[in-house]
Amino acid sequence: MSANKSFPPVYTDPAQQASENLRQVIPLVNKHRTPINPVNYAVWYEYVSGDNQKLNNEIDNLLNNNQLVSSKITQSLYEKYVLQGMPERLEKANSGLSLVVDNTLNNINRVESSTNDSIADLTNSQSTLDNYSDIDELKVTVKDILNNTQTLLSNSHTLKQNLEQSSQEIEQLKQELAAVKEIAQTDALTGLLNRGALDKELSTLCQQAIRKAAILLFDLDHFKQVNDTFGHIIGDKILQFFSSILKSEVGDEHIAARFGGEEMVLILFDASQQEATEFANTIRTKLVESKLQQTKDGQQIGSISVSVGISFFQIGDTPTSLIDRADQALYKSKENGRNQVHVN
């Protein structure tokens, strides 16, 4: 499995698969006369893995036209399909925020300057009042005071309007930044948290060490066989279906993430061993009892089962040790016939 579509991209291929991809990438990079730098390597790695269909389609079109895939092209493909425009969106949001701040400061400076001028005029008017000699001179001075006061009121009103507009723009930018952050943390296929976001959640759990938590590691049984039989598109649909079960069961209280490939992870907070086991069995049963079929021809896919391994957070744990124990329990579920739940 190649990278979860996130920013930055996270790769979860096992060592053997990564080595095989490397073996295929090197000749392609050399054939197209490009240096083996991180960008070129990432693009061709995505290509040989076959998981980034839009990138593959664009490269295949170039190859079918006997066109070399230059470094300039790979840079464009990298930004478009690997990073998926995240840096540009972040830069746009940051630039927008800077512009709002600059405009607000300029408005404040203008009002401050105008206010200082009005204060100076009012001070002069006060001096005139202290020394006036006739009624006509007094009328002129009072008129000047009224005009300056009106200017102050007008400037204050303008500043208020500008600040309200700036507040609205900042709120919109905050929403855009939140959306970018959510996209950067979300697995594009399943809608669950991606591997990078999961790693952060596990690190926080281990560092704070203030909550009980169960780690449920799910692995769809015989998934490679499903892909080989029905194709990767159907395989993706099954991953999406299983993820929808996880999301419906987890809600907002717990955390659901894609660990890599057909493996998913749930973090259940404040769950006992019995509660975590029952939770895992509920999800396992829902999946295996679902009668899946292809939408085009109605061909039955049959029952899809999942094996589950569970570990529990202990003081001193690291994200690696937590997942390792869950993986050991998952291995027992697989070894004992699959479609089971084991606790380590």
Compute the distance between CA of residue 271 and CA of residue 211 in angstroms, rounded to an integer.
10
- pLDDT grade for 105, boundaries at 50, 70 and 90: low
pLDDT in tens, 227-270: 888 888 888 899 999 999 999 999 888 999 999 889 999 999 99
The pLDDT of residue 205 is 93
Compute the distance between CA of residue 87 and CA of residue 186 in angstroms, rounded to an integer.
16
How many Cα atoms are found within 13 Å in the side-chain-facing hemisphere of 27? 5
Quick one: fold of 195-343?
Answer: Alpha-Beta Plaits (3.30.70)
Q: Which of 262, 285, 292, 296 is nearest to 339 (CA)?
A: 285
Q: Which residues are catalytic?
A: 262
Average pLDDT, the chain: 81
pLDDT in tens, 184-204: 788 888 989 988 889 989 999
pLDDT in tens, 65-79: 889 999 889 988 887
Q: Where are the domains of the chain?
A: 3-84, 87-185, 195-343
Residue 124 clears pLDDT 80, i.e. is over it: no
44 Rama class: left (phi>0) / alpha (psi -120 to 50) / beta:
alpha
Average of pLDDT values for 92-100?
59
Share of the chain above pLDDT 90, in %: 36
List Cα–Cα distances, 209 to 3, 203, 280, 314, 327, in angstroms. 30, 10, 23, 8, 21
Residue 319 clears pLDDT 90, i.e. is over it: yes
The pLDDT of residue 24 is 86
